[in-house]
A and B are shown apart, each in its own frame.
Chain A
Amino acid sequence: NSKVIQTPRYLVKGQGQKAKMRCIPEKGHPVVFWYQQNKNNEFKFLINFQNQEVLQQIDMTEKRFSAECPSNSPCSLEIQSSEAGDSALYLCASRSPWEPNTGQLYFGEGSKLTVL
């Protein structure tokens, strides 16, 4: 069973609405990633954090998403104004501190967003 906990598993939003997803990384994992997996199974990297700091993010994330990883609280990813093209599975993953070089990720089960 996954030790990366994502909530909610499913969410349905109308266009223009906010959509917020949360992730609790595996205990002790300092680096958290968010990926978008579309209906064709293609992965798009969105953003990653080391502790509370953003390491990398793509342009789309910077413009349309709000993401944070506060200490002692779940990480979150929020779409400010949902579009139909945002319908996808949003996967959170964390990286072990004992494997900083290999980059092996541990994934949650995802939050499936449907934008009507």
Chain B
Amino acid sequence: GEQVEQRPPHLSVREGDSAVITCTYTDPNSYYFFWYKQEPGASLQLLMKVFSSTEINEGQGFTVLLNKKDKRLSLNLTAAHPGDSAAYFCAVRNNNNAPRFGAGTKLSVKP
């Protein structure tokens, strides 16, 4: 079946450093892409959703890049702070199916 691969599984950075998480997907009919943040004991919170017509999206303290040619989606936290420590998940959807999730990246930001 279609796959969503997320890397790295664990990431540790210093406060102020950037942190990059990448997902690659196989379904060429993927049109909707999501990044979620999950803090311990809490539900998944949507960080950003992007559609196939957009390539670069900026949020508060992060940028999401979509490269449809390479089937690659990335989340770049530009200046990480300890409050960013959490698990991050990408999700990919085509028109017909439930979103497929990556296996997550556990980010640790040290002061």
Contacts and interface: CB of A to CB of B under 8 A. Distances in A.
A102 interface: yes
Contact of B43 (A41, A42, A56, A110): A110
B44 interface: yes
Interface residues of A, number: 23
Interface in A84-116: 91, 93, 101-110
**Interface size bracket, B side:** 20 to 34
B101 A40 contact: no
Interface in A20-75: 33, 35, 40-43, 45, 48, 56
Nearest to A56: B98
B104 A109 contact: no
Contacts, number: 54
Among B87, B98, B100, B104, the one with the most A-chain Cβ atoms within 10 Å of its Cβ is B98
A9 to B, nearest CB: 9
A107 B42 CA distance: 9
Contact of A109 (B32, B36, B42): B42
Contacts of A41: 87, 89, 103-104, 106
Contact of A35 (B87, B97, B101): B101
Interface of A: 2, 4, 33, 35, 40-43, 45, 48, 56, 91, 93, 101-110
**The 7 residue pairs across chains A and B that have the minimum distance between CB atoms:** A43-B101, A41-B104, A2-B43, A107-B44, A107-B43, A103-B93, A109-B43
